[in-house]
Amino acid sequence: MTIDEQISLLRKGTVDCIPEDELKRKLERSERTGEPLRVKAGFDPTAPDIHLGHTVLIRKMRHFQQLGHQVIFLIGDFTGMIGDPSGRTGARPPLTREQIDENAETYKQQIFKLLDPERTEIRFNREWFAGFSADDFVHLAAKATVAQILERDDFKKRFNSQTPISVHELLYPLAQGYDSVALEADIELGGTDQKFNLLMARQVQQSYGVANPQLIMTVPLLEGLDGVQKMSKSLGNYIGITESPSEIFGKVMSIGDDLMWRYYELLTDLAPGEIEEWKLAATRGDRHPRDLKAELGRRIVTDFHSQGEAQEASDEFDRTFREHQTPSNIQTVEKPVGPVKLVKLLASEGLAASVSDAQRLMGQGSVRLNGERVSDVTCEIGKTASEVLIQVGKRKFLRLLFE
């Protein structure tokens, strides 16, 4: 690729690039010297499962790898014990050492679904912070003023509302900044909610004598399945990359048509021009949005499973939802004969989050027994030996054998 073509690939799906003209200079210097750029992205091990929202950033790391650069997947095992205050209205509860180690190991098992292990450094910031003395921390704390830290929106809102701010939280942006010093980062990537921290890292690098501080690039926060709030496991609007092919595909098919284009931009490697052509084809009626959404689903499943499994998930979806057949791979569970309340069964078998959730689903008409909708929350099944097919919503099925 020419430098301009590289910039086009790297800027796809990004929001900020600060300073804007520095990216070209860094790429030209790398090409001239033959030295790959060091591209850093930090992850606090607060949640062990990666969902598609996280992969927007990881995919951008992969773009740098495809251009021959070295990416650094930094796991903040030290800063994770402080807790990133980004987007928080209160202090994060500190993680234990055991929680951090367990979550970090899970991250490591998942990121290589997208990243090239040969061009990925996995680092932990305890490497350098474990050896920090009291003098080192005082020296680091002197790199910014309290006024600068309180300019951050999260802190400003908490300060104005008289919500407590612990002193250790004020150290978080500085500690993240020192990571860039220790790793000699040329570029740091992060979500738009990390912009303050990323800019602070440039300042920290400069104060430690780094002649060419890092360029920062931010990526947007991906909307979840509802198309409104950012993708989050706690909100239940997420697609996990370790979910089954059929679950991933089915969730992609559930998103709105407008959101589909956002996912194409941020979750695929298609060029912007190609996405625009497909969008125009859908507008003209040359391609049906449902077919384009299925193509998106297959691409995403292929990234985290395989092309064959993606096609199987697509075919299974067609069988179930277009041809109105039941899935071919329904889980079967054997139970002893004896009456059991359906709401309790739905909760115990994971078809509902709880008994109250099961009651809510039944009230919405989302539960079927052998194809018939059931809304009576007092319903009991299993009174005699029989086979029962339970369906919850469009994608959850369970076959019960009472013997």
Per-residue pLDDT at 261 = 95
Average pLDDT over residues 5-20: 94
Residue 326 has pLDDT above 70, yes or no: no
Query: Do both 198 and 100 map to the same domain?
Result: yes
Instruction: List the beta bridge partners of residue 334.
Output: 401
Per-residue pLDDT at 10 = 95
Residue 300 has pLDDT above 60, yes or no: yes
Query: Do both 169 and 308 map to the same domain?
Result: no
CATH of the domain at 192: 3.40.50.620
Query: Do both 115 and 182 map to the same domain?
Result: yes
From 45-59, 151-165, 208-222, the region with the lowest mean pLDDT:
151-165
Query: Do both 53 and 99 map to the same domain?
Result: yes
Residue 320 pLDDT level (bands cut at 50, 70, 90): confident
DSSP letter for 355, please. Answer: H
Query: Do both 298 and 344 map to the same domain?
Result: no
User: In whole angstroms, what separates CA 95 from the centre of its chain?
Assistant: 20
Structure tokens, 231? 């993708």
Per-residue pLDDT at 102 = 82
Using omega within 30 degrees of 0 as the cis cutoff, is the peptide bond preceding 117 cis?
no
Per-residue pLDDT at 44 = 78
Record the pTM: 0.76
Average pLDDT over residues 110-115: 91
Per-residue pLDDT at 88 = 47
Average pLDDT over residues 176-184: 96
Q: Give ∠ CA 125-126-132 in degrees, rounded to 5.
A: 105
Does residue 234 belong to any structural domain of this protein?
A: no
Closest CA to 125 of 216, 44, 246, 15: 44
- What is d(CA 152, CA 198) in angstroms, rounded to the nearest whole number? 12
Phi, psi dihedrals of residue 89, rounded to the nearest 5°: -100, 0
Residue 32 pLDDT level (bands cut at 50, 70, 90): very high
Query: Do both 12 and 157 map to the same domain?
Result: yes
Does residue 238 belong to any structural domain of this protein?
A: no
Contacts by 160-163 with C-beta closer than 8 Å and gap 24+? 163/89, 163/90
Query: Do both 337 and 281 map to the same domain?
Result: no
Per-residue pLDDT at 292 = 95
Average pLDDT over residues 157-179: 86
Query: Do both 196 and 279 map to the same domain?
Result: no
Does residue 312 belong to any structural domain of this protein?
A: yes
Residue 386 has pLDDT above 50, yes or no: yes
Does residue 33 belong to any structural domain of this protein?
A: yes
Cβ atoms < 10 Å from Cβ of 79: 23
Structure tokens, 230? 């950012």
Query: Do both 41 and 122 map to the same domain?
Result: yes
Average pLDDT over residues 24-46: 93
* Amino acid (one-letter) located at 15: V
The helix (run of H) or strand (run of E) holding residue 108 is helix 97-111
CATH of the domain at 398: 3.10.290.10
CATH of the domain at 267: 1.10.240.10
Per-residue pLDDT at 317 = 86
Does residue 77 belong to any structural domain of this protein?
A: yes
Residue 309 pLDDT level (bands cut at 50, 70, 90): very high
Closest CA to 246 of 146, 320, 356: 320
Domain span at residue 46 reads 3-219
Per-residue pLDDT at 15 = 96
For 58-99, the pLDDT digits (tens) are 999 999 999 999 999 999 888 876 655 555 444 456 677 788
Per-residue pLDDT at 132 = 93
Average pLDDT over residues 310-328: 78
Query: Do both 213 and 350 map to the same domain?
Result: no
Average pLDDT over residues 13-30: 95
Phi, psi dihedrals of residue 47, rounded to the nearest 5°: -140, 125
DSSP letter for 131, please. Answer: T
Does residue 88 belong to any structural domain of this protein?
A: yes
For 240-263, the pLDDT digits (tens) are 999 999 999 999 998 999 999 999
Per-residue pLDDT at 328 = 65
* Amino acid (one-letter) located at 145: T
Structural domains in the chain (count):
3
Overall residue count recorded for the chain in this entry: 403
Query: Do both 185 and 47 map to the same domain?
Result: yes
What's the chain's average pLDDT?
Answer: 88
Does residue 193 belong to any structural domain of this protein?
A: yes
Query: Do both 282 and 202 map to the same domain?
Result: no
Does residue 202 belong to any structural domain of this protein?
A: yes
